[in-house]
Chain A
């Protein structure tokens, strides 16, 4: 089972992401509603990749990303960043911060699926 951590403060978006990815083979999901929850969840569950929203309460998605990239055990964890049309952050900033991939809402489900599949297949088996 390859576990995907879906981080977004909107339950609707979380549900949509899961629905889009549900067709992938051998995947399971964990959800987190904030950056803090996301990091807590990561510390306790083996996670193969993260789908990460940016604008969230408590801890900005970009800060979550920077935190992950600054610690060795999460450096290789694939992180796909979701952002909303019109956000101040450029694609460049997000990729420089260490995002493995980058998608703007509204995204097409099929594009999400293909990007996630690519990341999952490329990533080493990080589950412990």
Chain B
């Protein structure tokens, strides 16, 4: 059944993508290749749904397929109402499949089915529309390209699909037909339009031969793979990319990652042992030992990077669903919104992106529901009636930044100040963004008087924030009245193995993720100024809150004439963590602490150093939050 859901997901995504490509195309005869892909996806979905006896999905897919067939044949034209019906069909189809996966009551698709059926039956009355296909490219050369497969070629990885993909790279394939060559064996004959004879010639070694076709007699280009067979020797080749991918269960990759993690630990034990035996080994032998050790370290790093890369998927997969969501919601609330998407190819760990789906969805919903104003309000404010939501992703160092920005009215700061219990003050028309985020992420906070379908009941932002922070990321917000709001999610590229600064406090060892560390400084205790429950240090012209980890976690520490502080976070979130000794930099394997009984705020996980000692990994974001909240709730961090 998992196979079914995985494949169904792919088809749903393809259906949505195709429908969106049709949307906004104001032509009565949409591109046949898009319709073709759409049709095929529906058909496949119908087939596999039938196999798993998901009757509702099968029927829905069948009716969508019927409509598409009518459109493809030109029996009915495609307008925005029909597109809406198809979109509704796709949404219901997805809902049915999701419900089945989650073991819930499968929703009824009767309304949609009726609409689809009406649409398909309208085909007899409507005037036929010319089809878009058949635009043979006469300007460039036509070639008959023959490919004869053989076991030798297959052994070299060259198959008919390989050749087909190559031909698609250099031109258009009008048709392809297999032929039996005298004396047995098979060859494929492609009719190709291309100018790139050089490429064709270079494939001679790969079993490819070719000749020019007289331009005077263009081959008929037939409708791509319609239900009826299209003659004995001409098939238009759909543009579907050949599946050069392997689907791997994520658990297997996790296993690999864990094994690589174990190797990292073992190697660092080896490192320790090496250091201990240094005195007993002749220096020449020791040097060669050390070289091998270092080489192994580098190779291990490459290995885990390699595994990490396998886990990376383009963010675009999540983004692709968004136009659909925005379109639906905007339609519901009667707003006009365009969605801009940038950086779809930014790659991020599969595990992370799956967990970011809901938070991103929520932020987009918020932007539609709260952010963008109605067309009338926008015009009154001197803005174009159509609002814009911009969804973008980019890689910054070891992090991925996902931004959701709208050009709406901005967050109503006065309303925030009125409703918040935190004593928010609006100064110069702005609010400390950190505080603003705290307020809107407070559970139960909502500026809406009543919950509506889109914006929910004010639990959302709290969930968004905790989801982001659980994954070691940070959430930030910037808003400008009248100009819009921007949410930023910063996530680590991957989990599991991170670079960290190791520090000792008393007899305890802590690790601070290096991505959060700005610098390590020496502090003169005399320069610390007490402020309420905090201590502040003037550092680089700013007041830097100082946290003594020894006090925070109630550890015995001896007082020293000079303190070491690790500066973490940036800007207003910056924080100095006072430790006894900074031991250095290390790669650590993160193990999350799953047991709620030992869940400690300020600690995000644990790791093992080479000698088997347990090390706690500090949760920088939670520490920084607890410091800011301390005036109200002391000792929260050590609760």
- Contact surface of A with B, Cβ cutoff 8 Å: 9-13, 15-16, 33-37, 39-40, 42-44, 55-60, 62-63, 66-67, 70-71, 73, 84-89, 105-106
Contacts and interface: CB of A to CB of B under 8 A. Distances in A.
A67 B164 CA distance: 19
Contacts of A67: 178, 232
B166 to A, nearest CB: 14
5 contacts: A9-B44, A12-B4, A37-B159, A57-B238, A60-B235
A60 to B, nearest CB: 5
B50 A106 contact: yes
B235 A63 contact: yes
B235 A58 contact: yes
B50 A105 contact: yes
Contacts of B230: 60, 63
Nearest to A58: B237
A106 B229 CA distance: 23
Nearest to A106: B50
B478 to A, nearest CB: 45
Contacts of B237: 57-58
A64 B401 CA distance: 49
Contacts, number: 107
Which of A55, A57, A89: most chain B Cβ within 10 A?
A: A57
Contacts of B243: 33
B134 interface: no
A60 B160 contact: no
B214 to A, nearest CB: 25
B243 to A, nearest CB: 7
Shortest Cβ-Cβ A-B pairs, 9 listed = A43-B186, A106-B50, A62-B229, A88-B227, A84-B47, A57-B238, A39-B178, A71-B180, A40-B160
Interface in B184-201: 184-186, 188
Interface in B227-253: 227-230, 232, 235, 237-238, 240, 243
Contact of A106 (B53, B235, B238): B53
B639 to A, nearest CB: 50
B51 A13 contact: yes
A34 B47 contact: no
B587 to A, nearest CB: 38
B503 to A, nearest CB: 51
A43 B51 contact: no
Nearest to B36: A57
Given A40-B159, A71-B180, A16 B51 contact: yes
A90 B53 CA distance: 22
A15 B243 CA distance: 16
Nearest to B8: A12
B180 A44 contact: no
A44 B238 contact: no
A36 B176 contact: yes
Nearest to B6: A12
B155 to A, nearest CB: 11
Nearest to B164: A36
Interface stretch (B146-154, B405-413, B569-577): B146-154
A40 B47 contact: no
Given A10-B7, A12-B7, A44-B150, A63 B48 contact: no
B225 A57 contact: yes
Contacts of A56: 225
Contacts of A87: 227
B146 to A, nearest CB: 13
